[in-house]
Chain A
Amino acid sequence: MESNTISFDEQESIQRLRNYLPAQAVLKDFVHHNTLHAFQKLPFFEALKKASTIFGYRVTLSLEEFRTLFQKGQISEAILDQKILDKKGRAKFRYWKNSLLERDYNNVVSSRIGQLRENWKAFYKINLNKIVHPFLFRIISSYLDQGIAIRKFPLTGLEDGFLEALIELEKNAYSSLFKTRRAKTLLLDSDTTISSLLKILIGDESLFEQYLFDQQFAHPGWSGMVNNIEHNPNSLLDPKIVSLKDFILFELLLEIDALDQKLGENWEPLGYKIEEKPDELFSTIVSTELSEVLELWQDAFEWTYYDEVLAGVRAQTIQEKPKEKSFQALFCIDDREYSFRRNIERTDPNSETFATPGFFGVEFYFQPENSKFYTKACPAPVNPNYLVKEVARKSVHQKDFHYSKHAHFPIRGWLITQTMGFWSAFKLFINIFKPSISPATAYSFQHMDKHSKLSLERDSAQPTEGGLQQGFSIEEMAERVENTLKSIGLVDNFAPIIYIVGHGASSVNNTHYAGYDCGACCGRPGAVNARAFSYMANHPRVRALLQINGFTIPTTTQFLGGMHDTTRDEIEFYDEDLLSPANASLHTKNRAIFLDALEINAKERARRFDTINIKKSLKKIHEKVKKRSVSLFEPRPELNHATNALCIVGRGALTKKLFLDRRPFMNSYDYRIDPEGNYLLSILNAAAPVCGGINLEYYFSRVDNAKLGAGTKLSHNVIGLFAVANGVDGDLRPGLPSQMVEVHDPIRLLFVVEHYPEVVLKTIQRNKATYEWFINNWVHLAVINPDTREVSVFKGGSFHPYSPLKSELPQISEIFPFIENNQGNIPVIQTS
């Protein structure tokens, strides 16, 4: 027992802890983010090493998996050799190649986290997790519960928060939260702090912070959720005040309680018992040979694919001949929309499609009719000042008695089970043999009623609501329309109809449904934004104002909103009655093209679902695909962003004749109208964190589905409507379930930008947060020079020329045979 000079700063330690906790939001607001966000200040591989050493995460595929990929030819030997030469030099080439391919390594992942706390078992023969966790989880989930329990947590203590509510409960009940006296007294004592409790438990101040890390990382799911709700209490419809500090304090009390019960009140703090201190969490990381081997494999794996892509992009010859367009359509940047766009352009070669983040540059809160809340209709980090209301909704929400609380009361339950119980058997039968949309379905087209109206135009007489302006003024509309169209390079050659197509998804029995909708609309279907943008762009006064600014859209051109359901491959259009007669007849023709493209798209997707025979007719396949979205027993209604690997920022011609499977995010962009890179900057500011976030979440959930992913969803149990856990007593499971990521190849995102390297370099340096993504290699960046068609790659702060190893891409004219015979990833193909 020596006195230690390291002192404990509660505030600072908890702040550090927060940083490392999972940052996943509640289920209804599912937003993808980089799972290892805490390490983003470090270069990618350094961060991986650190995360793995400290927390015991798996951070790449295993050595075995890499070797299997290599044997299957999915990692190219030429690329592998090149990577070894680059990083290790010629002298050691043989050694490293042999290491990669042959050598055995001990692949036990150990971690620093948990070592200190493990000592309870060693010295006191007590398993604190086993005793404390179930009750702790039950209390916190009851407190935060959004509407599963019938009896709410008494005294929610809205103003004062979790701890205050516990104190009130302790005072106002004839039974106690605790089993022993000391913990109870400590709870009621206003002088109790985390430090004072740690003094009792640990004693040695130098170990306090490490102990908190150990303790909270024994249930990272819950700690992360508490931390997240503390900062966004309004992400819960029924808001709760909670803080990580309160949560930790309560857990410490429960630990003291458990120890007191087993040992009486006189036990020595753990810190005085241990002779040898465990490794400090954040002390220097020693890199192992295995981690270097894995790094090389990862690089080779990624570049095998990138090389093909860059070879493909470079080979495109771009001849601009302005041509009459049959129609134009704007879609979301989302990787799921890429294949739909490709199929539209193949079905009708005279059509032209674009992509931009799916809120189409109009940011607002949306309030469906009769609802009590607003939903955000723009990316999560944006905080809009506008409110748009839905009026004159026609559809009604249906009820399902299976979710009714009555069945949980004894007498009513007695009545219900004996009557409705038999109806349940029938419904189960129907649901298995003929699934259809039900009240349990999250149905994309339900978010906004097709026949309702939107209050989009500002009426200056109308007061603000909750600080939000209702609707947009003409100037505000014009500004948004111009910005969006210019950023994608749509400034001339307007077609008679320009479709603005948002997207949403439909699924049932899917707790992660929000992650399937449009990320740019904060995990909601994007129909409202598509309709809003069309309204604005069609507005005569907006057009007039734009004309004054020198941006002329022909009066014959009309914008039409729509939404694509990515699960069902269906499309719905809004306000079709506003089309001019000429356009209405064009629309009928275009609609057929959309429908054809959807069927092809469904087939393309279906090849990954190996329960569908994709040699059947397009119609039949499409039916099966639609059925998946409403089948209770289908854990994979769609595969969402799985296999994403690219983000392409450039003109459509860059990829028009390439088949990139369903792997790229895309943002249309024309360098010619943006010589300074201003639009590019705002595109990258959004795309790097959003697409990069999606990509990395898939990456980490795939490589360590047990610790960074949510495991299989088949055994998930819904907790309080805001999260899932395994079983009844388990920790929350942030991350993505295995069903979502199993087909994903964990490689980082490659940005391909069409512009001059020097402009791109200047652009990315303008925003520090965006630059961090590139300089630390959390995403890759390649630039294609529009004049020379040369490719250069961003590395260590500057661009370096890159000449792809792959010289010839496979050329085909018909894509179907490829789709039908390849369940896995399809290589980059040149189509004619």
Chain B
Amino acid sequence: MENTIHLFIVIPLVGFITSLLIPYKGEALISKVAFTAVGLNLMVCMAFIPIWAIQRFPALNIKDLSIYQTANYDFFIDFYFDEVSAIYLLVGAILTFLVTIYSRYYLHRESGYKRFFSTILFFYLGFNITILSGNFETLFIGWEILGISSFLLIAFYRNRHLPVKNAVKVFTIYRIGDVGILLAIWMSHHLWHENITFQQLTNYELVQKVLSSHYSLGIFISLMILIAAAAKSAQLPFSAWLPRAMEGPTPSSAIFYGSLSVHIGAFLLMRTFPFWEHQFLIRVLIGGLGLSTTVITSLIARVQPTIKSQIAYASAAQIGIIFFEIAIGLEKLALFHFAGNAFFRTYQLLISPSVVTYLIREQFYNFVPDTRKIKNNTYQKLRNTIYLLSLKEWHLDSVIFRFFFKPLKKTRKVLGFLNLKNLLYFFVPLYLGGFYFSYINQPASPEIRYYLAVGIAFLALLMVVKAFNERTSSRLAWLLIALAHFFIDLSITFNDQFNAEETFVYLSGVFFSGILGYGCLHKIKAFEHHGIGLNQFHGLVHRYRLIAFLFLLSSLGLAGFPITSTFFGEDIILTHIHEDQMVLAFIVALTFIITGISVIRIYARIFLGPHIQFFQEKPELTA
């Protein structure tokens, strides 16, 4: 029975790969493949869950292959199945099935039909991996897939400005969530000295024993989990991304941001509940965050004059309550609430265009004219203030910007000295020198080594910050990002015993994607007469479909997405940072986040957005 779980991964995976192989115009075939995949998946799910229920809901753990193993490190794929997974699996299967059928007709003749279904299947794959994962590492694979497929679906109308801009924005917030997971994984390694499975977390005595001696490490991990959950589930202070994600075709908005994707944060909390259950502080924090989100987003929802943003905020408010329910230990209720909210918001979004017909008719028969008078007492003033603040979304949209991106952007001038020449003449020798010292002739003092590690990692951070801020040369930005990985490697080599094999695992992916990506950029630069600077969108995807796809792959590789060994490498890197080296861990994690954001930014700027010559797509059918 346990092996059935694999089917939930295999079916969407096969569907996804098949959909990639179908030609662009094979609308009927694409829709058939998608239909078969999600239909089959639903059937297996419908058959599996009753059998599992008859066996009294056993919690299943399936340890799969170890992907990378050393003496004290084992990266293995693990699946876990309990009530929480069951509900998420079922709701996911039903909604994906219904929305897929819905979209088969809805997207008829839309250019990007294939892309849409491929992305939906990809998303669904990520969703299932996440909810069935048995350890953080497996979860992180699914988590990354969700992030990138969200990006692709929000930017579905890729030749328009706003969808692309907002896709990058949402990806950025997701990336902040990712670092939460990364750091949680990092600290977990040190806490447990192994890759802990979620099943082990349900072992009360084991958890208590470890936590009682490492109280602050436990709090740190829980906090990181909370950051990840809050970002993914549009809780404070991240809530403002949710309405902005509603740029794709309505069904995709419905299934992602109305239901499945946005409830993943709640899933993460339920999954890790046994870990933080006894950390009172964390429970208060989660409950409090949930409730404040409910209050704020409800206030915002009340003033929304557009239907999709209203539903988005109302949904975020309910997820706030779900957070609260989880915090006070009402897991069953939270699950029930999740299912109800997911179904409800999906349907609300799907029928949202009809709101005009319906409400206008209602108004036609029941209208009561506005008779409010202008009052200027304190109460009224307070109400107006709340109204105005809600209209400004309580500045949520700018909070993240102000505290995260503005400082980044400010460094632009400081980093002006980094250009292609300096990169070659200064950093490459520097790296070689470092390489010599780190691998061949290490300084003895651990203290010096640590400072060197921090210093070098900081250089890496500066490089990706520069890449993030780069406005003119896309190739420079790309090289900086690639080189930053080498510096991170160097830094860790100073810090700890980091052998050549591990370096190889980490850097081979970087090397390969770096070269491929550079090749793509080089080729495009040669074809295009004007430059491909990063201060504007170029929208070149329509001209270079294949190069765009290859570049996307290499971007993902460079960002440590689970398609190259760099993904494991990043994980290994973190295990070599000790639990008391918070600064180093922070710098490295920050470098990883900004790397992800920067490569996606490069991809978006060059390949997405409006193209100067490209006004509208020719209808693909003449009729």
Residue from A414, A439, A633 whose CB has the most chain B CB atoms within 10 Å:
A633
Extra contacts besides A139-B391, A173-B384, A715-B250 (12): CB < 8 Å: A142-B391, A172-B384, A237-B363, A368-B365, A410-B320, A421-B343, A422-B343, A424-B346, A509-B353, A718-B307, A721-B355, A727-B166
* Nearest B-chain residue to A149, judged by Cβ: B305
A417 to B341, CA, bound (A): 5
Residues of B close to A135: CB separation below 8 A: 392
CB of A441 within 8 Å of the partner chain: yes
Q: Give 25 A-B contacts (CB < 8 Å), ordered by A residue.
A: A28-B360, A64-B618, A146-B360, A149-B302, A150-B301, A152-B372, A155-B384, A156-B370, A168-B374, A408-B313, A410-B318, A410-B320, A424-B348, A427-B347, A428-B98, A442-B354, A508-B354, A509-B353, A631-B105, A715-B250, A725-B306, A727-B162, A728-B306, A728-B309, A738-B616
A508 to B354, CA, bound (A): 6
Q: Are B623 and A414 in contact (CB under 8 A)?
A: no
Residues of A close to B309: CB separation below 8 A: 717, 728
Residue-wise interface mask of A (411-451) relative to B, using a CB-CB cutoff of 8 A (1 in contact, 0 not): 00110111111101101110010000001111000000000
Q: Are A715 and B248 in contact (CB under 8 A)?
A: yes
Residues of A close to B352: CB separation below 8 A: 717-718
Residues of B close to A418: CB separation below 8 A: 336-337, 340-341
Residue in contact with B623 in the complex, picked from A138, A146, A442, A743, CB distance below 8 Å: A743
A172 to B384, CA, bound (A): 7
Residue-wise interface mask of A (629-649) relative to B, using a CB-CB cutoff of 8 A (1 in contact, 0 not): 001111110000000000000
Q: Are B383 and A421 in contact (CB under 8 A)?
A: no
A642 to chain B, nearest CB (A): 10
A439 to B356, CA, bound (A): 12
A179 to B390, CA, bound (A): 15
CB of B295 within 8 Å of the partner chain: yes
Q: Are B103 and A633 in contact (CB under 8 A)?
A: yes
CB of A145 within 8 Å of the partner chain: yes
Q: By DSSP majority rule, is chain B's interface helix, strand, loop, or mixed?
A: helix
Q: By DSSP majority rule, is chain A's interface helix, strand, loop, or mixed?
A: loop
* Nearest B-chain residue to A369, judged by Cβ: B365
Residues of B close to A513: CB separation below 8 A: 356-357
Report the stretch among B107-115, B271-279, B580-588 that lies at the interface.
B107-115
Q: Are A729 and B162 in contact (CB under 8 A)?
A: yes
Q: Are A704 and B615 in contact (CB under 8 A)?
A: yes
- Assuming the contacts A108-B612, A175-B385, A403-B359, asked whether A718 and B623 have C-beta atoms less than 8 A apart, the reply is no
Report the stretch among A370-378, A663-671, A778-786 that lies at the interface.
A370-378
CB of A719 within 8 Å of the partner chain: yes
A372 to B612, CA, bound (A): 49
Residue in contact with B346 in the complex, picked from A141, A428, A439, A717, CB distance below 8 Å: A428
CB of B244 within 8 Å of the partner chain: yes
What 7 pairs across the A-B complex have the smallest Cβ distances? Answer: A421-B340, A440-B354, A421-B344, A424-B347, A823-B623, A145-B305, A714-B249
Q: Are A715 and B376 in contact (CB under 8 A)?
A: no
- Assuming the contacts A148-B310, A420-B344, A441-B357, asked whether A169 and B388 have C-beta atoms less than 8 A apart, the reply is yes
- Assuming the contacts A148-B355, A151-B303, A716-B353, asked whether A108 and B344 have C-beta atoms less than 8 A apart, the reply is no
Would you list which residues of chain A between 353 and 383 have a CB under 8 Å from chain B?
368, 370-373
CB of A400 within 8 Å of the partner chain: yes
A429 to B166, CA, bound (A): 31
B36 to chain A, nearest CB (A): 17
A580 to B246, CA, bound (A): 59
B125 to chain A, nearest CB (A): 22
Residue in contact with B618 in the complex, picked from A65, A171, A508, A715, CB distance below 8 Å: A65
B105 to chain A, nearest CB (A): 5
Q: Are A408 and B302 in contact (CB under 8 A)?
A: yes
A148 to B314, CA, bound (A): 13
Q: Are B363 and A148 in contact (CB under 8 A)?
A: no
- Assuming the contacts A422-B339, A742-B109, asked whether A509 and B354 have C-beta atoms less than 8 A apart, the reply is yes
Residue from A397, A424, A508 whose CB has the most chain B CB atoms within 10 Å:
A424
B567 to chain A, nearest CB (A): 32
CB of A40 within 8 Å of the partner chain: no
Q: Are B382 and A174 in contact (CB under 8 A)?
A: yes
Q: Are A397 and B361 in contact (CB under 8 A)?
A: yes
Q: Are B314 and A237 in contact (CB under 8 A)?
A: no
Residues of B close to A632: CB separation below 8 A: 102, 350-351, 354
Residues of A close to B344: CB separation below 8 A: 402, 407, 416-417, 420-421, 424
Q: Are B106 and A633 in contact (CB under 8 A)?
A: yes
Residue-wise interface mask of B (361-403) relative to A, using a CB-CB cutoff of 8 A (1 in contact, 0 not): 1111111011010101000111111011111100000000000
A168 to B380, CA, bound (A): 12
Residues of A close to B415: CB separation below 8 A: none
Residues of B close to A716: CB separation below 8 A: 250, 353
CB of A344 within 8 Å of the partner chain: no
- Assuming the contacts A149-B305, A150-B302, asked whether A172 and B108 have C-beta atoms less than 8 A apart, the reply is no
A448 to B592, CA, bound (A): 64
CB of A60 within 8 Å of the partner chain: no
